[in-house]
Structure 1
Amino acid sequence: MEEKVVVVGSLNMDIVAHVDRLPKEGETIQGFGVYEAPGGKGGNQAAAIGKLEVPVSMIGRIGSDANGDSLLASLRQSGVNTEAVLATESATGLAFIAVDEAGSNQIIVAPGANGELSAADIEGQRQLFEQCSLVVLQLEIPLETALYALRLAKQLGKTTILNPAPARRLDAELLGCVDYLIPNEHELLAMTGKSELDEAGLSSAAAELLEKGAKAIVVTLGDKGCFYTDGAVSEYFGAIRVDALDTTAAGDSFIGGFAAGYAVERDVRKAIRQAIAASSITVTRRGAQSSLPSRDEVDSQLNRRKAGKRA
């Protein structure tokens, strides 16, 4: 079966501690409810797409260890093709996550095997790129590997989505390979060096990245929704009001929802609305991949929004 989407990116085991509040610099606080769960931005986004019943393949690296086995099992359970997930002698990546009572989080990533994903690994999966219509990436893998994957995708005429996380300054060569750049507001500030993000600052920062080569930008704004611009058209999309429990996988759920929607219909606005619906469900649940919604759940959320009902 033709794979509609290829996700290139990170696979981590999340170690999550819930806290009353997030710690300040140099502070030790008591945590509770500690657990492990499959994660990583690449894995989460692939799982989000798979749960929305769009064919998807994952390209990444894990360790030859129990955490790697758990990640593979979780991806397969979500409907992801894992044939291009390669094992290495390095340990599987880890993410240490603190989540407070409001659902906000702090995350530290130890990349482990993710740091070994190479351009040669990408070239070895050229056939997957040839068969897909859409390629999704993040930046928890080596930058040169991400750039190689983006170049290959554009050489083959594929649509590309980049989630620039962790945030960093990106040059025109890389941005010129990106059709849809999807940062959150903190990543947008880091990418442009701006200090604040009011409405004027948001438009200015997005315009700067468009000038560097990105074709369109979707900035996620948490409970304020998101902002879309392609230079010719700019539009705000409101959030769906929910009681947030854990925002850990909100961005990944949004990107998975967007990618799944765009791969099927090629309609940006419909894809954004689906992304908002998916992420609004995710934040009401704990965990990363375990919090991602099904096709039926997202459709129900969209129908409730059309009817004007609160989620």
Structure 2
Amino acid sequence: MKKILVVGSLMTDFVFRTSKMPSTGETFIGEQYEKYTGGKGANQAVAAARLGGEVTMIGKLGNDEFGKEHIESLKKERIAHQSVLLDDTSRTGVGNVTIDSDGNNKIIVVPGANLELKTVDITNHKKLIKDADIVVLQLEVPMDVVYRCINIAYDYNKIIIVNPAPAQYFDQDLAKKVDYFIPNEVESSLLTDKTINNIEDAKDAADILINTGYKNVIITLGDAGAIFVNKNQFKYFNSIKVNPVDTTAAGDSFIGTLAYGLSRNWNIDQIIESAIKASGCTVTKLGAQPSLPTWRDIENLKEIVK
């Protein structure tokens, strides 16, 4: 089995359940409040590890109570965490997640120590990239850190996965070095100036990204499924129908499962179908990391991807 390295963010999520989103200036009484370990990087690492992947993580936490909770969480998930650094000048990143009765969410993130991850930290842990087979990246850490990781991983001929979230400018000169570029429909629209209303729109956006240089593009479409595109292939994958409770981390579950599938040398159809099932499991539970499935959870999911 191939080794997975995740370089990215760790956040403490404060999750509020409410029957509806408050309007500007409105105070509304919520229904439930919880605190969880989260962050796109950590979520994707946990998603892959919980399925049985061999996972290492690089990131930065504040040297505070939330940071200590993250370290304990990584230990529990059997994720190698010696390269998750503690910063004495910044607090651990936090996210405010508000979820309505339909499972839709609005999120405010204060990155905190995540923004203190430096290129020198990546250079100091260069051996971890050399020892890994798959490198997974998102954009909740500084972009120069992401670029440094891509360049090192490319030089070592690693499989590079980039989840461009939150959406922002990405150096197109690096596109050819990325093996799997995985935005959702909102991020795809922002990156291509292509409004996505249907599968054909998504394919057009993916073609733009392929022409930019990305080798393989997967656009996740929420409850509409996902598409896979490269220069030789287009394929649509249907969603599964579940009753959503919280859509937080559905994308992270998808990407962690994809990384795990690649580590097992599965074919792309099997990988994406499993990733969609994993996302389906995730949205049926509250919270980011608590909702990430085990392989047994995925196998027990009765709905079948068609």
Q: TM tier, shorter chain?
A: over 0.9
Letter in 2 for 1:235: K
Which residue of structure 1 lines up, in the alignment, with residue 103 of structure 2?
A: 103
Which residue of structure 1 lines up, in the alignment, with residue 21 of structure 2?
A: 22
CA distance in 1, matches of 2:199, 2:284: 28
Aligned to 1:176, what secondary structure does the other structure show? helix
Which residue of structure 2 lines up, in the alignment, with residue 243 of structure 1?
A: 243
What's the Cα RMSD here? 1.7
Distance 1:26 1:146, change over 3 A: farther
Q: Is 25-34 or 178-187 further displaced after alignment?
A: 25-34
**1:137 Cα deviation from its structure 2 partner:** 0.5
**1:224 Cα deviation from its structure 2 partner:** 1.1
Which residue of structure 1 lines up, in the alignment, with residue 84 of structure 2?
A: 85
Deviations 1:227-286 (A, max 9, x none): 110121001111121111110111111111111011111422211111111111111110
CA distance in 2, matches of 1:173, 1:283: 35
**1:208 Cα deviation from its structure 2 partner:** 1.1
**1:27 Cα deviation from its structure 2 partner:** 4.1
The question of whether the paired residues in 1 share the 8 Å contact of 2:241 and 2:303 is answered with no
Which aligned pairs between 1:1-311 and structure 2 lie closer than 5 A? 4-89=3-88, 90-301=90-301, 305=304
Structure 1: runs of 5 or more not aligned: none
Letter in 2 for 1:4: K
The question of whether the paired residues in 1 share the 8 Å contact of 2:55 and 2:79 is answered with yes
CA distance in 1, matches of 2:66, 2:204: 42
> Scaled by the length of structure 1, what TM-score is found?
0.94
CA distance in 2, matches of 1:234, 1:3: 26
Deviations 1:174-210 (A, max 9, x none): 3222111111111111111223433332122111111
The question of whether the paired residues in 2 share the 8 Å contact of 1:97 and 1:108 is answered with yes
Deviations 1:90-123 (A, max 9, x none): 1000011101111110111100000011111111
Distance 1:27 1:208, change over 3 A: farther
Distance 1:304 1:28, change over 3 A: closer
The question of whether the paired residues in 1 share the 8 Å contact of 2:240 and 2:303 is answered with no
Letter in 1 for 2:147: L
Aligned to 2:232, what secondary structure does the other structure show? coil
**1:3 Cα deviation from its structure 2 partner:** 6.7
CA distance in 1, matches of 2:114, 2:69: 16
Identity of aligned residues (%): 39
The question of whether the paired residues in 1 share the 8 Å contact of 2:60 and 2:116 is answered with yes
Distance 1:159 1:3, change over 3 A: closer
Letter in 2 for 1:60: G
Structure 2: runs of 5 or more not aligned: none
The question of whether the paired residues in 1 share the 8 Å contact of 2:185 and 2:196 is answered with no
CA distance in 1, matches of 2:171, 2:17: 37
**1:78 Cα deviation from its structure 2 partner:** 1.6
CA distance in 1, matches of 2:109, 2:79: 23
**1:169 Cα deviation from its structure 2 partner:** 2.8
The question of whether the paired residues in 1 share the 8 Å contact of 2:206 and 2:229 is answered with yes
CA distance in 1, matches of 2:31, 2:74: 27
CA distance in 2, matches of 1:26, 1:181: 39
CA distance in 1, matches of 2:157, 2:266: 15
CA distance in 2, matches of 1:296, 1:165: 28
Q: Is 193-202 or 143-152 further displaced after alignment?
A: 193-202
Distance 1:119 1:257, change over 3 A: same
CA distance in 2, matches of 1:256, 1:24: 34
The question of whether the paired residues in 2 share the 8 Å contact of 1:44 and 1:249 is answered with yes
CA distance in 1, matches of 2:87, 2:96: 21
Number of aligned residue pairs: give it. 305
The question of whether the paired residues in 2 share the 8 Å contact of 1:115 and 1:142 is answered with yes
